[in-house]
Chains A and B, each alone.
Chain A
Amino acid sequence: QKEVEQNSGPLSVPEGAIASLNCTYSDRGSQSFFWYRQYSGKSPELIMSIYSNGDKEDGRFTAQLNKASQYVSLLIRDSQPSDSATYLCAVNRSGGSNYKLTFGKGTLLTVNP
């Protein structure tokens, strides 16, 4: 069974610190990788997507992918209280248009003012 594993947390960081979230996946055929943010009772919201090994930066967010280690991470710099949410890692076997995503259970992040 194809699995995506995340530390459930909670991960607690002070405001302004770097939050580091990690994810491993079991399916070596995975092609595309995503980080979603989910506030309690709300729908997932895409934060980052990454498709090739290395780092991808977007504002305060950096996604890192290592396909050999089957590992994806998300760094949040200058963490804000509004970043407090559950962060979901998701992987897609297809590199194309069909979003059959496999999600992890999520890591709860709390940013303390």
Chain B
Amino acid sequence: EPEVTQTPSHQVTQMGQEVILRCVPISNHLYFYWYRQILGQKVEFLVSFYNNEISEKSEIFDDQFSVERPDGSNFTLKIRSTKLEDSAMYFCASSEGAQKLFFGSGTQLSVL
């Protein structure tokens, strides 16, 4: 089965630093997403991206967050100035229209 690939699997950073989480969605998929899950909490929607622009974002996705599709294969999430409360597992996902949503294996972000 095709896979969504995320790198790195673990990221440790200091509070206030910028981090970039990387994802390679499934090649023929058109819709891309970031979700996050704080330890012991719900999986939360952050942002959806289609046709090179954000289609929807949650209240969590404030000005410190941004997404980009810098080339034909990668999809990135940038957190500009990390806070302790940004520590979470971040999942990238992609879908081909209304079909199944595929999640990547996640990046565990730890902000110290």
Chain A interfacial positions (CB closer than 8 Å to B): 42-46, 49, 88, 90, 95-106
B residues with a Cβ closer than 8 A to A are: 30-31, 33, 35, 41-45, 48, 50, 55-56, 58, 91, 93, 95, 97-98, 100-101, 103-106
7 A-B pairs with C-beta separation under 8 A? A43-B91, A44-B103, A97-B30, A98-B56, A100-B45, A101-B101, A103-B43
Note all chain B residues with C-beta closer than 8 A to A88: 43
Whether the Cβ atoms of A45 and B31 lie closer than 8 Å is: no
For B103, give the chain A residue with the smallest CB separation: A43
How far is it, in angstroms, between the C-alpha of A80 and the C-alpha of B98 when the chains are bound? 31
Task: Check A46–B101 contact: CB distance below 8 A.
Answer: yes
Report the Cα distance A49→B97, complex, angstroms.
Answer: 15
Taking CB atoms, residues of chain A closer than 8 Å to B55 are 98
Contact of B100 among A42, A46, A96, A104 (CB under 8 A): A46
Chain B residues in 8 Å Cβ range of A98: 31, 48, 50, 55-56
Q: A4: nearest residue on chain B (CB-CB)?
A: B42
- Using CB atoms, name the residue of chain B closest to A43: B103
Q: Which of B42, B50, B95, B106 has the most CB of A within 10 A?
A: B42
